[in-house]
Chain A
Amino acid sequence: MSPGGRVLRLNPIACDAHGVCADLLPEMVTLDPWGYPVIAPGPVPAELEEHARRAVASCPTLALRLERQPRAG
């Protein structure tokens, strides 16, 4: 894992509340009362990175991304 790790980032405009991410990565994603994902803050732990990748790949609207730590500024 690169220093600083990776973070999950959601495009809330693209998200359509399919909830696949919460099924595949319950350790980091819960759903709000309307079915939209609430993502745990901070970097994805190394042991969950593979699961995070699958959640990202399975999002039907491509709303979820795994990114390097946000750039400064």
Chain B
Amino acid sequence: MTAVRSTGAAGHPLPPGQLPRLVAPGAPLGLQAHVGRYGPLPAWPGGPGGPAQLIASVERAGLTGRGGAAFPAARKMRAVAGAVTRTGRGRRHGGAVLIANGAESEPASGKDAVLLRQSPHLVLDGITLAAGAVGARGAYLCIDGADPGLAGRLLVAVAERQQAGLAGAAVRVAEVRGGYVASEESALVNFLNGGPAVPLYVPPRPFERGVGGQPTLVSNVETLAHIALIARYGPDWFGAAGTPAAPGSALVTVGGAVRRPGVYEIGLGLPASELLELAGGPAEPLQAILAGGYFGGWLPLPAGGEAAVSPPGLRSAGASFGAGVLLGLPAACCGLAETARVLRYLAGQSAGQCGPCTFGLPAIADALAHLAWRGRDERAAEWLRSLLPLVDKRGACHFPDGAVALVASALRVFADDLQRHLSQGPCPDASRPPVLPVPRAPGGQP
């Protein structure tokens, strides 16, 4: 036993329902402080039950991926472990590969950056555990290449573990540069295989054939951090936060017109209005919340304030949880203009590989901008509505689908505004400065 291991607080887990779990307040946790807070890394998957036991535990916990798709984490792990077995330790005997996805290219999201800064060892614990569970010898920790200093801090954390004699998969930190689609899972595989960080045509999916042709598990860094806690404290502890339909906690990024924008950890299922309160409450009267980021949908207020912030809760409210982004839209603000700006940005983020996305998203952005800032054109509204099904689900990845869903929700939630724009021209609020954060795109604003 090393000194680090002996300082562990294995008998003193965090109280089950207590938050935050993932991100302790205060300074970032070095290895010693990390072990002090969470206890030592359990001996899995070499321990009792082996890898299958860890996957079963993750399954019982009901953990879903926190990167945006909310896919059951255990099923993904089992698919990779199964592909390794089927193909005899992977096609070229190298076993599986793990990609920890912290590239976070959604401009409104900040939760992966906060997690990697504050609790790097929780993510690295999760990498060790998940790699062991699926039979991966090597792991890549993919991060946003535009975040200065992050790679250096993570390399220090990796070195700290080596010095303390912690076993685990070799972790390489990879800085990903690219646009919105760069953090899509096949784009990361493409990038790590020496290509550009743009999505691939699937199948084969990464779990079948990914990095170096090996079965590859791509997991969001927050998902891996939850696995590190489930391995320590068990599925029941995990489920003491959240609801039966959406167990556990999640990191969310709250922005827009709230008093204290930032990253918060919540029990899944918290009503959206309470989440706004957690972020200091509205900075001015709000008319809607954009839930799920630029892949999500609009929730009208006040009714939408009752929506449960969780993947099933927001889905049934007509929005999505996505990577946990919630943005408050002021009442004195034009939802159509805000959505039009986001669409202009998204259209510029297409990898330009698939025709319907390359040509369809700019056409949608043009039509929406025309309605937002000129109005009085019924034909533009019809044209816009006819474009949505011509783009939806016609790309190699889901990028165009998310953009279409966002526009469809804007047309639904801001239907009255659209009618006014059509009959009277743009509202005065359309010329207000933007509320939603949109990086400046080449080509500029309409």
**A residues apposed to B, CB below 8 Å:** 11-17, 32-36, 38
Contacts and interface: CB of A to CB of B under 8 A. Distances in A.
Contacts of A16: 355
A12 B392 CA distance: 13
Contacts of A15: 354-355
A54 B364 CA distance: 34
Interface residues on B, range: 10 to 19
Nearest to A33: B390
B201 A32 contact: no
Contacts of A14: 201
A7 to B, nearest CB: 14
Interface secondary structure of A, over-half rule: loop
B360 A12 contact: no
Nearest to B199: A13
The 6 closest A-B pairs by CB, nearest first: A12-B354, A36-B355, A34-B359, A13-B353, A13-B201, A11-B201
A63 to B, nearest CB: 9
Contacts, number: 39
A12 B395 contact: yes
Contacts of B353: 12-13
Nearest to A17: B355
B396 interface: yes
Contacts of A34: 355-356, 359-360
Contacts of B357: 12
A60 B362 CA distance: 26
Given A32-B390, A38-B390, A13 B354 contact: yes
Given A12-B395, A33-B363, 14 more contacts: A12-B201, A12-B353, A12-B354, A12-B356, A12-B394, A13-B200, A13-B353, A13-B354, A16-B355, A33-B390, A34-B356, A34-B360, A36-B394, A38-B390
A64 B394 CA distance: 14
21 contacts: A11-B201, A12-B353, A12-B354, A12-B356, A12-B395, A12-B396, A13-B201, A14-B201, A15-B354, A16-B355, A32-B355, A32-B356, A32-B360, A32-B390, A33-B363, A34-B356, A34-B359, A36-B356, A36-B359, A36-B394, A38-B390
Contacts of B396: 11-13
B146 to A, nearest CB: 26
A15 B291 CA distance: 34
B396 to A, nearest CB: 5
A71 to B, nearest CB: 9
A16 to B, nearest CB: 8
A11 B199 CA distance: 12
Contacts of B363: 33
Nearest to A71: B203
Contacts of B360: 32, 34
A1 B129 CA distance: 47
A33 B396 CA distance: 19
Nearest to B383: A33
Nearest to B79: A73
